[in-house]
């Protein structure tokens, strides 16, 4: 007897997995046992909890782009699918299915943390609950589950949050998009995207919480509660002192940004190829780097002199002008210079380089709590080379270009 083909074996394996899920759902939530049904009559196997009038909430494996994911789908066409990676534990999948189905049966909202596509409570789900209760629209939570669907339901695309994004909550305001992040190295960050100028800005959390601007980006997690962060957010966009990093020079500035440090006269439109563009002069390059460091939240950097173009009481800022990539020994040497530069306490290190760096050097920079940025000498734009510097950068998303469906 010939061995069955691979696709038949795979289909049988999926069938058995769904049967296990069916039994787990009944065992964990016996109150819906009579509504549970495993449907394998078509190619898309799915486990469903029936509601009424032929409607149901279903769990299935679906394709999004080049990936296969678990989806919990409610019957409403405008509802957002709950997306989970394939290695999600069975108990999490059936609990997610039950949470959505139970809400439809009782006529209540999906309970937290499941309403945020999360399987356990965290600082992010707690913050999302507070903001939602205060009338703000929470668009996404990413903590334990970093997978989400983006775009209209009939052609949804998979979006996976990057490691450097940390855990975050995305909040939609009438005139801005806000991402509240909790990052491993920096702590709390609040970044604001303003569609009118296609620009990111960062809220001075230290100033709003304690009336003191902090020398480095972020507020340690233990120094601020989710309720305090929510209070800052609920003040609204017009109450925040934003350092906005604007790129397109021709973009008009909205009224509420007038008087803030936008720097439209210092902008370079980065649309031409790198080859053939001139490098910026020393003064122009320094100004652009200083503007970006300030907008990132380095609160005590300031214009210096010819010998030290950018000065700081907290950081020793080193310009690395060699073509060779930074090695571990070089970063160690520069870190020693930074420590010695402090008058009473060692300074921390910021390196600005036109080269790259080795992975061991980046690891040492993180250990030393240093920031290493690559500087594009044609635009002055900064790119983080170690994880701490990457965490200080802007979120890797453009909410203005995402289709905003009524989910």
Q: Give residue limits of the domains in the chain.
A: 6-111
Q: What is the pLDDT of residues 346-396, one digit of tens each?
A: 999 999 999 999 999 999 999 999 999 999 999 999 999 999 999 999 998
Element (H, E) at 181: strand 176-183
Other beta carbons within 10 Å of 221 = 15
Any idea which of 87-91, 179-183, 303-307, 312-316 has the lowest mean pLDDT?
Answer: 303-307
Please determine, for residue 163, whether its predicted confidence score (pLDDT) is greater than 90. no
Other beta carbons within 10 Å of 208 = 21
Please determine, for residue 72, whether its predicted confidence score (pLDDT) is greater than 90. yes
Phi/psi for 391 (5° steps) reads -60, -30
What's the rounded Cα separation, in Å, for the pair 93 and 71? Answer: 9
- Are residues 202 and 243 in contact, defined by beta-carbon separation less than 8 angstroms? yes
Is the pLDDT higher at 151 or at 318? 318
Q: How confident is the model at residue 175 (pLDDT cuts 50, 70, 90)?
A: confident
Element (H, E) at 36: strand 36-39
Q: Pick the closest to residue 402 from 170, 120, 105 (CA basis).
A: 170
Give the pLDDT of residue 157: 85
Please determine, for residue 6, whether its predicted confidence score (pLDDT) is greater than 70. no
Give the pLDDT of residue 246: 53
Provide the 8-state DSSP code for 67. E
What's the rounded Cα separation, in Å, for the pair 297 and 232? Answer: 16
Q: How confident is the model at residue 68 (pLDDT cuts 50, 70, 90)?
A: very high
pTM of the complete model: 0.85
Is the pLDDT higher at 166 or at 398? 166
What's the rounded Cα separation, in Å, for the pair 338 and 405? Answer: 49
Q: What is the pLDDT of residues 9-63, one digit of tens each?
A: 667 678 799 999 999 999 999 999 999 999 887 777 899 999 987 899 999 999 9
Phi/psi for 73 (5° steps) reads -120, 125
**What is the CA angle 117-189-363, rounded to 5?**
95
Phi/psi for 13 (5° steps) reads -60, -40
Element (H, E) at 290: helix 282-296
Phi/psi for 263 (5° steps) reads 70, 45
């Amino acid at each position: 007897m010939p061995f069955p083909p691979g696709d038949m074996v795979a289909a049988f394996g999926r069938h058995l997995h769904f049967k296990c899920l069916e039994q787990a759902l009944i065992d964990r939530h016996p109150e819906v046992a009579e509504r549970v049904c495993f449907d394998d009559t078509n190619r898309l196997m799915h486990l469903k909890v029936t509601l009424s009038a032929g409607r149901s909430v279903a769990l299935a494996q679906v394709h999004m782009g080049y990936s296969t994911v678990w989806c919990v789908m409610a019957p409403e066409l405008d509802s957002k699918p709950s997306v989970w990676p394939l290695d999600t534990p069975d108990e999490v999948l059936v609990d997610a299915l039950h949470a959505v189905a139970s809400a439809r049966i009782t006529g209540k909202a999906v309970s937290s943390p499941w309403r945020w596509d999360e399987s356990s409570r965290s600082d992010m789900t707690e913050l999302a609950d507070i903001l939602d209760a205060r009338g703000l629209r929470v668009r996404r939570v990413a903590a334990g589950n970093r997978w989400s669907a983006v775009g209209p339901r009939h052609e949804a695309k998979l979006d996976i949050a990057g490691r450097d994004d940390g855990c975050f909550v995305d909040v939609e305001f009438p005139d801005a998009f806000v991402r509240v992040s909790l990052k491993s190295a920096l702590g709390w960050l609040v970044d604001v995207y303003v569609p009118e100028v296609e620009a990111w800005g960062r809220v001075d959390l230290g100033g709003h919480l304690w009336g003191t601007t902090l020398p480095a980006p972020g507020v340690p997690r233990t120094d601020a509660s989710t309720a305090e962060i929510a209070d800052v957010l609920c003040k609204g966009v017009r109450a925040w002192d934003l350092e906005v990093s604007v790129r397109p020079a021709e973009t008009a500035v909205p009224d509420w940004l007038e008087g803030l440090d936008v720097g439209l006269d210092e902008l370079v439109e980065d649309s031409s190829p790198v080859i053939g563009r001139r490098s910026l002069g020393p003064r122009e390059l320094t100004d652009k780097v200083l503007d970006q460091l300030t907008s990132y939240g380095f609160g005590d950097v300031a214009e210096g002199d010819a010998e030290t173009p950018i000065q700081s009481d907290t950081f020793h800022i080193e310009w690395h002008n060699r073509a060779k990539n930074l090695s571990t020994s070089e970063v160690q040497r520069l870190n020693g210079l930074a420590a010695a530069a402090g008058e009473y306490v060692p300074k921390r290190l910021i390196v600005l380089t036109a080269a790259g760096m080795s992975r061991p050097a980046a690891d040492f920079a993180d250990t030393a709590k240093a920031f290493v940025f690559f500087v594009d000498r044609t635009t002055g734009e900064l790119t983080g080379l170690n994880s701490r510097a990457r965490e200080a950068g802007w979120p890797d998303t453009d909410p203005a270009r995402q289709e905003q469906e009524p989910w």
